[in-house]
């Protein structure tokens, strides 16, 4: 990728990292289900004898750690160049605001 930045055209649309949000949500769910599996009604008659909350909770906590770890290890790269729409002569205006306002 070319190494030139385009001044104020540099975008932060991806600034909040979706991986952290996924990790946080799955982690929250995982912990709640783990607790429910340990202390709540296991409803073994429904699940056929498996502590479903416990196992799902464990799996979710693992998934959560993976996402948070991924986001930590490879932080999001804000794209250096973003293709501008607005070079279509057939399109009625407006011309897009130029960068650097």
Partner 1 sequence: MSHLALAVPAATPLIDATWLDYLLVVIYFGFVLGIGFLARRSVSDSIDFFLSGRSLPAWVTGLAFISANLGAVEIMGMSANGAEIGLPTVHYFWVGAIPAMLFLGVVMMPFYYGSKVRSVPEFMFRRFGTGAHLVNAISFAVAQLLIAGVNLYLLGSIVHALLGWPLWVALIVAAAIVLSYITLGGLSAAIYNEVLQFFVIVASLLPLTLIGLHRVGGYGGLKDKIAAFADSAPAAAKVAPAGQQLESWPGQALSGFSSGTLSVIGIVFGLGFVLSFGYWTTNFVEVQRAMASKSISAARKTPIIGAFPKMFVPFLVILPGMVSAVLVKEMVDLKGGGHPAGGASGEGVKYNDALLLLMRDILPNGLLGLAIAGLLAAFMAGMAANISAFNTVFSYDLWQRYIRKDHSDDYYLRIGRLATVAATIIAIFTATIASSFSNVMDYLQTLFGFFNAPLFATFILGMFWKRMTATAGWVGLSSGTISAVIVAFLSEDAFGSASLGVLPLSGQGASFVAASTAFVVDIVVSVLVTMVTEPKPASELKGLVYSETPKEDLVDPDEASQPWYQRTMPLAGIALVMVLILNFAF
- Residues of this chain that bind partner 1 (CB under 8 A): 1, 11-16, 18, 21-22, 24-26, 28-29, 32-33, 36-37, 40-43, 46-48, 50, 52-53, 55-56, 59-60, 63, 76, 78-79, 82-85, 87-88, 90-94, 96-97
* d(C-alpha 74, C-alpha 82), whole Å: 21
Q: In this structure, are residues 3 and 80 in contact, taking their beta carbons and an 8 Å threshold?
A: yes
Residues 6+ apart with CB under 8 A from 22: 67
Smallest gap from Cβ 96 to partner 1, in A, equals: 6
Smallest gap from Cβ 3 to partner 1, in A, equals: 12
Chain centroid to CA 61: 16
Q: In this structure, are residues 38 and 54 in contact, taking their beta carbons and an 8 Å threshold?
A: yes
Smallest gap from Cβ 65 to partner 1, in A, equals: 14
């Amino acid at each position: 990728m070319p190494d030139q930045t385009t001044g104020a055209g540099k975008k932060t649309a991806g600034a909040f990292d979706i991986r952290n949000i996924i990790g946080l949500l799955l982690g929250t769910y995982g912990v709640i289900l783990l607790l429910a599996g340990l202390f709540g009604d296991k409803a073994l008659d429904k699940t056929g004898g498996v502590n479903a909350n416990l196992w799902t909770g464990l799996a979710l906590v693992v998934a959560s750690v993976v996402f948070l770890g991924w986001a930590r290890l490879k932080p999001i790269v804000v794209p250096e160049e973003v293709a501008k729409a607005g070079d279509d002569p057939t399109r009625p205006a407006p011309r897009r605001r130029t960068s650097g306002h």
